[in-house]
């Protein structure tokens, strides 16, 4: 009989939205959590918080060898990693204000986040140029391998007003080793896909972290046993 994972409390992961005022951070958060859109959103004051559980669905990773290199642990014997279809992940969404006067609050929220979503408006080239400032804030607070960073080009529903090309934004993200995706909070384009992908990546990262910790404990245990044997041998010497 298969074991159900639903009885286990969902693992919580913290996601922080970053970006200039008016790029659609709140709209994306509300589209994902409540599946609603309001084009009359008021600017976020300080920090807004919301949460949603997501079932990541049946998922199979065919190349764990690449993951073993990425997460620095021994290559598993299996040629794939299968994730059951009832794994539930709790995503805690922290929507930060884009105004300058609230930016002093943001660093503390970056500090313990699992994911940083940096949003810009594809119809606003200044919001794209300001990505460097937001990336700098992340790097001040977090090591590169400690947080997943995604750059989001929002408002694809306004394609005729586009100022930043997909290729330009994609190349920018690639140079930094970050993920790039385009969305529309208004139509819902790619929003569900984005958070489902994040939930899967977070689960895999946690899974790999567990494997690595087990291996380290095993290696420490073997090293301890060897040291004990060496001491015993020395005691037996005349």
In a domain, 232, yes or no: no
**Residue 235 forms part of a structural domain:** no
The answer to the question of residue 143 being in a domain is yes
How much is the mean pLDDT over the chain? 79
Which pLDDT value is given to residue 108?
81
Domain count within the chain: 1
Q: What's the longest Cα–Cα distance across the chain?
A: 88
**For the residues 193-207, what does the mean pLDDT come to?**
87
Q: What is the CA radius of gyration of the chain?
A: 22
Q: Do the domain assignments include residue 191?
A: yes
Alpha-carbon gap, residue 56 to 90, rounded angstroms: 10
Q: Could you tell me the pLDDT band of residue 150, with boundaries at 50, 70 and 90?
A: very high
Minimal CA–CA distance to 12: which of 140, 141, 199, 190? 199
pLDDT given for residue 104 in this prediction: 67
The mean-pLDDT minimum among 24-33, 83-92, 109-118, 157-166 falls in 83-92
12: in domain = no
Helix axes 25-34, 191-236, angle to 10 degrees: 90
What average pLDDT score do residues 87-99 get?
84
Residue 208 lies in a domain: yes
| CATH assignment of the domain containing 54 | 3.40.50.300
Average pLDDT on 33-38 reads 93
Answer yes or no: is pLDDT of 215 > 80.
no
Looking at the DSSP assignment, which residues form a beta bridge with residue 120?
Answer: 153
What pLDDT, on the 0 to 100 scale, is given for residue 105?
74
Q: What is the 3-state secondary structure (H, E, C) of the chain?
A: CCCCCCCCCCEEEEEEEEECCCCCHHHHHHHHHHCCCCCCCCCCCCEEEEEEEEECCCEEECCHHHHHHHCCCCCCCCCCEEECCCCEEEEEEEEECCCHHHHHHHHHHHHCCCEEEEEEECCCHHHHHCHHHHHHHHHHHCCHHHCEEEEEEECHHHHHHCCCCHHHHHHHHHHHCCEEEECCCCCCCCHHHHHHHHHHHHHHHHHHHHHHHHHHHHHHHHHHHHHHHHHHHHHHCC
Answer whether residue 171 shows pLDDT above 90: yes
pLDDT of residue 206: 81
pLDDT at 25 over 50: yes
The whole-number pLDDT of residue 65 equals: 46
Residue 182 reports pLDDT greater than 90 = yes
Which is more confidently placed, 60 or 162?
162
Please report the sign of the dihedral spanned by the C-alpha atoms of residue 140, residue 141, residue 145, residue 149. Answer: negative
Question: Residue 88: which domain range?
Answer: 47-94+105-217
Structure confidence by residue, pLDDT tens digits, 39-82: 876 666 667 889 999 887 655 554 444 444 444 444 445 555 66
pLDDT of residue 7: 46
In a domain, residue 129? The reply is: yes
Whether residue 8 is contained in a domain is answered as no
pLDDT in tens, 3-19: 444 445 678 999 999 99
pTM for the whole structure:
0.77
The pLDDT of residue 43 is: 64
What pLDDT does residue 201 have? 86
């Amino acid at each position: 009989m298969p074991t159900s994972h639903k009885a286990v409390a969902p693992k919580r992961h913290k996601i922080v939205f970053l970006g200039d005022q008016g790029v659609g951070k709140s709209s994306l958060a509300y589209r994902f959590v409540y599946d609603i859109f309001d084009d009359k959103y008021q600017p976020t004051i300080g920090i807004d918080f919301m949460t949603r559980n997501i079932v990541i669905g049946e998922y199979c990773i065919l190349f764990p060898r690449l993951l073993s290199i990425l997460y620095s642990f021994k290559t598993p014997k299996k040629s794939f990693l299968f994730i059951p279809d009832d794994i539930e992940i709790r995503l805690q969404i922290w929507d930060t204000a884009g105004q300058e006067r609230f930016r002093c609050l943001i660093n503390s929220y970056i500090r313990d986040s699992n994911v940083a979503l940096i949003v810009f408006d594809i119809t606003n080239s200044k919001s794209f140029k300001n990505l460097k400032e937001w990336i700098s804030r992340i790097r001040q607070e977090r090591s590169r391998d400690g947080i997943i960073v995604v750059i989001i080009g929002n408002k694809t529903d306004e394609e005729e007003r586009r100022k930043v090309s997909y290729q330009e934004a994609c190349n920018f993200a690639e140079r930094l080793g970050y993920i790039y995706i385009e969305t529309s909070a208004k139509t819902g384009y790619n929003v569900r896909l984005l958070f489902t992908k994040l939930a899967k990546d977070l689960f895999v990262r946690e899974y790999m972290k567990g494997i690595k910790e087990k291996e380290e404990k095993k290696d420490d245990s073997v090293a301890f046993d060897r040291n004990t044997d060496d001491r015993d041998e020395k005691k037996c010497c005349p």
